[in-house]
Amino acid sequence: MDMLDHNGLTEREFMEQYRAGDYERPSVAADMVIFTVTEAVEDNYRKLPEKELRILLIRRGGHPYLGNWALPGGFVRLNETTEQAAARELGEETGVDDVYLEQLYTFSDIGRDPRTWVMSCSYMALVAGSQIELKAGDDAADAAWFKVSHRLLREGKELTGDGYVKTQQYELSLYSHEEELAAVVERTVTAKQTSTATSYSIVSNDGLAFDHAKIIAYAIERLRGKVNYTDIALNLMPKLFTLTELQQVYEVILDKELLKAAFRRKVADLVVETDHYTENAGHRPSRLYRRNMEDYR
């Protein structure tokens, strides 16, 4: 049974005569915050190396933001979803294809790209340290892993007529082996009696391209939030790991020390013990665990 529209057309007829309007359309990029955990060098053979949370950045070889560092990403092509575009870019940059990928947020501020109208559909990827193998493609001629730090700098609250405005300034610092980048991202919560709105803005920015400081800050917040109530952090671990290593990963994500006993109780259901142990550390060996693939809820 064919329904007719107000012009008397069936759906088939409508589709045949349909032409996309020639109004302006945005470009859509898929940009990615790729997290991994690496180990710092430790000269004392007895001590465990510290873990570091790192993200991949690529130095821009062209205008705009020439010489600045940007998130890996690229434009979404026809007949491809944003997620496929993200996975494709991830493969191109790091050579890995089986990683945790989660959509974060779509940034669409006007003027965020000075060239043209570009929205960024951003993703977070979690890669186990061992999986990494940076491709030296022409595109990624200058890629580097930056250690991440994201801390509350300042906080303020101002009462308005029927609500308040709360501002939080976070300092985002990124360190590679050769460079140091910094930015301050402000989060503004405007609460009224009937509504609440949250917005982000970049207060200062030294060395990061576009609005990528905002995207990175958003990704860290998401990761921190999810670590507490999901097993998301396990996507950063190799197949076998010790509970102390897992705790170090939690600590470096949360930027906070955790108590061992409580931590082990908390993750007990997320992991399964194996019969393997670490060897040749300068101290007692540690049991190795793997991710629990059974239900734990």
Partner DNA sequence: GAAATAGTGTCTGTGAGACATTATTAA
Partner DNA sequence: TTAATAATGTCTCACAGACACTATTTC
Q: What is the 3-state secondary structure (H, E, C) of 86-119?
A: HHHHHHHHHCCCCCEEEEEEEECCCCCCCCCCEE
Cis status of the peptide bond prior to 72, with omega within 30 of 0 = no
User: Which residues have C-beta within 8 Å of that of residue 52, sequence separation ≥ 6?
Assistant: 37, 38, 39, 40, 147, 252
CA distances from 80 to 46, 60, 271 (A): 50, 25, 35
Which residue from 144, 126, 120 is spatially nearest to 220, judged by alpha carbons?
A: 126
Residue 26 or 95: which CB sits closer to a second copy? 26
- Which of DNA, a second copy, none does residue 26 bind to, with CB < 5 to 8 Å depending on kind? a second copy
Taking the C-alpha atoms of residue 35 and residue 52, their distance in angstroms, rounded to an integer, is 10
Q: Residue 271 is inside which H or E element, if any?
A: strand 271-277
**Can you tell me whether residue 27 is helix, strand or coil?**
strand
Residue 103 falls in which region: left (phi positive, over 0), alpha (psi -120 to 50) or beta = beta
**Beta bridge pairs of residue 75:** 29
**Using CB under 7 A, which residues numbered 223 to 262 contact DNA?**
242-244, 258-262
| Binding flag, residue 286, DNA (CB under 7 A) | yes
Among 47, 50, 106, 274, the residue binding a second copy under the rule CB under 8 A is 106
Smallest distance from the beta carbon of 224 to DNA, in angstroms?
Answer: 14
| Binding flag, residue 251, a second copy (CB under 8 A) | no
Taking the C-alpha atoms of residue 149 and residue 251, their distance in angstroms, rounded to an integer, is 12
Radius of gyration of the chain from its Cα atoms, rounded to whole angstroms: 23
**Using CB under 8 A, which residues numbered 158 to 177 contact a second copy?**
159, 162-164
Smallest distance from the beta carbon of 106 to DNA, in angstroms?
Answer: 33
**How many residues in the shown chain lie near DNA by CB under 7 A?**
27
| Binding flag, residue 44, DNA (CB under 7 A) | yes
Among 167, 168, 190, 278, the residue binding DNA under the rule CB under 7 A is 278
Tell me the per-residue interface mask from 27 to 46 with a second copy, x by CB under 8 A, - otherwise: xx------------------
- Which of DNA, a second copy, none does residue 48 bind to, with CB < 5 to 8 Å depending on kind? DNA
- Region binding DNA by CB under 7 A among candidate stretches 23-31, 80-88, 169-177, 285-293: 285-293
Residue 114 or 285: which CB sits closer to a second copy? 114
- For the chain, the distance separating the N- and C-terminal CA atoms, rounded to the nearest angstrom, is 47
- Which of a second copy, DNA, none does residue 95 bind to, with CB < 5 to 8 Å depending on kind? none
Q: Please report, as ranges, the residues that interact with DNA according to CB under 7 A.
A: 44-48, 242-244, 258-262, 264-266, 277-287
Q: Please report, as ranges, the residues that interact with a second copy according to CB under 8 A.
A: 3, 5-6, 9-11, 14-15, 18, 20, 23-28, 61-64, 66-67, 75-83, 98-101, 103, 105-106, 108-110, 114-117, 119, 121, 128, 131, 157, 159, 162-164, 191-197, 235, 239, 290-291, 293, 295
